[in-house]
Amino acid sequence: MKYYELASLPRYAQRLKRARTVRFPNDIVFQDNIRLGDLEQVGRFIRARKVTLNTLYPSGMAALHEAVLSGNLDCVKLLVRYGADIHQKDENGWTPLHVACSDGYTHIARYLISLGARLDATNDEGEKPSDLIDADSKDLVELFKAARMD
């Protein structure tokens, strides 16, 4: 191999590397950061206004639904602090409280209820969050009993 051929290899390799870079839309990266619980990146996206919190993404859910689905209370709190709507419904009419109850996340349900999440909100099937609680989730059952008494 001649000298000029060796010298041009690194540039060509760099060009190939740049050409093969895959870029995803901000909302996809944002949702992935929520799922991973990367609070630093979630905060950066929000502060840079690269995403809108109360938009339904292609998944059919908003950012808060994704955070609840991941079971990450810290991420839920971060999104709420930046204006995520605790009453927003996804494409099937589920609120974040529906998701928390369905997946057995008592700690997140308690937090949402403390913020005033509606216990009587119904999804498209007419189900309330309490209708989605597994009978084995004693903590959630007790939480809803106590919340109704208040």
Please check whether residue 90 is in contact with residue 62, taking contact to mean a CB–CB distance below 8 angstroms: yes
pTM: 0.81
- For 43-93, the pLDDT digits (tens) are 999 999 888 888 888 888 999 999 999 999 999 999 999 999 999 999 999
The CATH homologous superfamily to which domain 24-149 belongs is: Ankyrin repeat-containing domain (1.25.40.20)
pLDDT at 3 over 50: no
CB 64 within 8 A of CB 101: no
Check: CB of residue 79 under 8 Å from CB of residue 67: yes
DSSP string, 78-103: HHHHTT--TT---TTS--HHHHHHHH
- Residue 90, phi then psi, degrees to nearest 5: -85, -170
Centre a 10 Å sphere on the Cβ of residue 105 and count the other Cβ atoms it contains: 25
Q: Measured between alpha carbons, how far is 128 from 118 in angstroms, rounded to an integer?
A: 9
Cα 63 to Cα 30, 36, 42, 109, distances in angstroms: 8, 13, 10, 16
Number of H helices, E strands in the chain: 8, 0
Phi, psi of 148 (to 5 degrees): -70, -30
Report the distance separating Cα 127 and Cα 69, nearest Å.
18
How many CA within 13 A on the CB side of residue 132? 24
Q: What is the mean pLDDT of residues 16-43?
A: 83
Query: Is a pLDDT exceeding 50 seen at residue 106?
Result: yes
